[in-house]
A and B are shown apart, each in its own frame.
Chain A
Amino acid sequence: MDASIEKLLPLSEATYYILLALREPAHGYAIMQQVEAISEGAVKIGPGTLYGAFANLEKQGLIEMVREAERRKIYSMTDLGRHVLLAQLRRLRVMVRVGEADAPFLSTY
């Protein structure tokens, strides 16, 4: 795997969902709502957390501001962002596969 992608992993839970929510360009509040919807209510992101995440993700080149509408910045995921998200998904798949195969005792719980 590309070293520049590897060093950005693992994504935090909030970052993972923010990137997932950015499959289409969106502003902050739409992302907050989207994250809550796709995580089935399990993850709610506060505005301070999202503001800091935007700053980090933009600095890392995973998202970019594409335009402004009604004083709100609209962000989009970059190609690097898509590659990082994909790499995170691969990691998660391996973790789930290994967990299910090597820890069958968990099924008794």
Chain B
Amino acid sequence: MSEQRSHVYKWFIELDDGHIEEWLRAQALAGWHLQKFRMPCRFTFVRGEPADNVYRFDSFPAWKRSSDYEQLCQDAGWELVFCWWGSYCWRKPAADGKPNDIYTDTPSKIARQQRLLTYFGLTGLLLMYNLMGSSDREMDTLRMVLTGVQLALVLPMSYLILRTVGRLHRLRREAL
């Protein structure tokens, strides 16, 4: 018998606010387990027994993908669902007695948000640099499309930077 699959298109702006993780857990409780994810918004689920699985996302710069990190997570009971361009999605049973979080103390949560902020900040700067440079150049159709795409990315990127800064402030207050 072939696997029963479902594709869900779900728009989201960030993986780090917990909403997607909770949604995936609810899907697993209903017997739909995440099999793969395709950018920008396609989630593929496969039908199985209902299970209380927690999902966690984590991100590193793509060039810093680490087999040591992956081994540590797997030893700690996490199953790698997918890894795309440095973004990891991990899953494990909620009640296996091991921590249900990849990051378990405030200093490491702060370090993670700082890493994300550097990543978003550099992307934002690159975006601004490209946009400012394009005002001096002649516009052909391709350049107009590229500029339009970059302009469309400015707001989401600003939102991500502000959210990350907000999370950093909250975590630093907690650490006091």
Contact = CB atoms under 8 A, between A and B. Distances in A.
Interface of A: 12-14, 28-29, 32, 44-54, 71-73
Contacts, number: 63
Nearest to B98: A44
Contacts of B69: 47-48, 51
Most buried by B among A13, A32, A50, A72: A50
Contacts of A47: 69, 72-73, 75-76, 78, 102
**Which secondary structure dominates where chain A touches chain B?**
helix
A36 to B, nearest CB: 9
B167 to A, nearest CB: 15
B2 interface: no
Given A28-B75, A73-B68, A44 B111 contact: no
B115 to A, nearest CB: 9
B72 A13 contact: no
Interface of B: 58, 66-69, 71-73, 75-76, 78, 98-99, 101-105, 107-108, 111-112
A73 to B, nearest CB: 6
Contacts of A73: 68
B75 A72 contact: yes
B82 to A, nearest CB: 17
B99 A72 contact: no
Contacts of B98: 44
17 contacts: A12-B105, A12-B107, A13-B105, A32-B75, A44-B98, A45-B99, A45-B104, A45-B105, A47-B76, A48-B73, A48-B108, A49-B103, A50-B72, A51-B69, A52-B108, A53-B108, A71-B67
A14 B103 contact: no
B101 A46 contact: yes
Contacts of A12: 105, 107
B75 A44 contact: no
A44 B104 contact: yes
Given A45-B99, A52-B111, A14 B72 contact: no
B102 A46 contact: yes
A20 to B, nearest CB: 15
A46 B66 CA distance: 16
A29 B99 contact: no
A46 B76 contact: yes
B1 to A, nearest CB: 36
B76 A29 contact: yes
B72 A51 contact: yes
